[in-house]
Amino acid sequence: MTIPRTLRTAVTCLAVVLVLPQHARAAEDDTPIAVGSRRELFVDQHLIERLDGARRQLHHPVPREVAITHDAPWEGAGSGYHSVIRDGDLYRLYYRGSALGVDNGRLKLGREVYCYAESRDGVTFNKPELGLHEFDSLRFVAR
């Protein structure tokens, strides 16, 4: 079943009409927004009424030391989706490794694995041998 174009247009217009009054009320309301103890990133004017003697400035990245090198055989040619979680005095890095290749001029994604690394300083990461899984018949044992 296809929805007639006029009905889709009417539904879209109704959604816009329902949303706009909420934004208009928020702009007129002088009530402070409670952020509690959350850290907030000030990227727009949503939480900032005015800047007196201050400005927002985007700093450019500066190359530093290499935190981790993805050179283990199980990581494959592609590593991504890095997530760092601080656990006491240890930084735990979880990321995905994947085999990549090209087939008939198109990128081909192969086997994917989830990887782990850790750091004491949050800058330099090492990959401990946990002894949890085999990779290509090699058993990785804990040191």
Contact indicator for 96, 80 with CB cutoff of 8 Å: yes
Contacts of residue 102, defined as CB under 8 A and 6 or more positions apart, other chains included, come to 108
> DSSP secondary-structure letter at 73?
G
- 60: its two tokens: 């450019």
pLDDT in tens, 76-133: 888 889 999 999 999 999 999 988 888 899 988 888 889 999 999 999 999 998 888 7
pLDDT in tens, 44-82: 888 888 889 988 888 999 998 899 999 888 888 888 899
The amino acid at residue 141 is V
Question: What does the alpha-carbon distance between residue 7 and residue 23 come to, in Å, rounded to a whole number?
Answer: 25
Give the SS3 label for residue 124.
Answer: coil
Domain residues of the chain, as ranges?
73-139
Question: What does the alpha-carbon distance between residue 124 and residue 117 come to, in Å, rounded to a whole number?
Answer: 10
